[in-house]
Amino acid sequence: ASMGGQRTHIESGSYSVVRGMNAVLGFVKDREDHSFEWGPFIEAGWGNYTSHLDNGIRGDGDTKYFGSGIMARKKLGDNYLEGSIRGGRASYDYHSNELVGSADATVNGTDTPSPSIQGSSGMVEVGYTINTSDTVGIDLGVQGWIGKRRGLVGSGSVKFKF
């Protein structure tokens, strides 16, 4: 089990600031030589965000998600390579100081698709583990995202074994 928090600045021409918390509960199966581990998990998260558009409009909202997946981690000495496949449901509540509604458009009388954040993403993480004792470890990593969510994220965690 783990819990975490984040504050992320996302550039998209304009920018958004996302703050949130998440929790993960899972089970891990480890090889006897500890070189490979995998397992299923469930996760949940909640947070809020503020979007600042180039034209000065500010929008605020809340988000929450729940999902499940399977992860795998290959240990390479003090380094590791990790990946996961996830599925779930996210909900968003958005309100703007200037605009409320959907973005619809037509070109030569033909409807164009409305903007959407619906889609799939994949993540690969590369990192370094520092074992400070038999019961405490520190992981530092960089995540690369592909798909609907794109970019790099730095991460750090402390693991307690008991």
Interstrand relation of 79-96 and 58-76 (parallel, antiparallel or unpaired): antiparallel
How many Å apart are CA 58 and CA 17, to the nearest integer?
11
How many Å apart are CA 26 and CA 82, to the nearest integer?
15
| pLDDT tens series, the chain, 162 aa | 677 777 777 766 677 888 888 888 888 888 888 789 999 999 999 999 898 887 788 889 999 999 999 999 999 988 889 999 999 999 988 776 554 444 555 556 666 555 555 567 778 888 888 888 887 888 888 877 776 666 677 777 777 665
Interstrand relation of 79-96 and 121-131 (parallel, antiparallel or unpaired): antiparallel
Q: Are 82 and 64 in contact (CB under 8 A)?
A: no
Note the pTM of the prediction, 2 decimals. Answer: 0.57
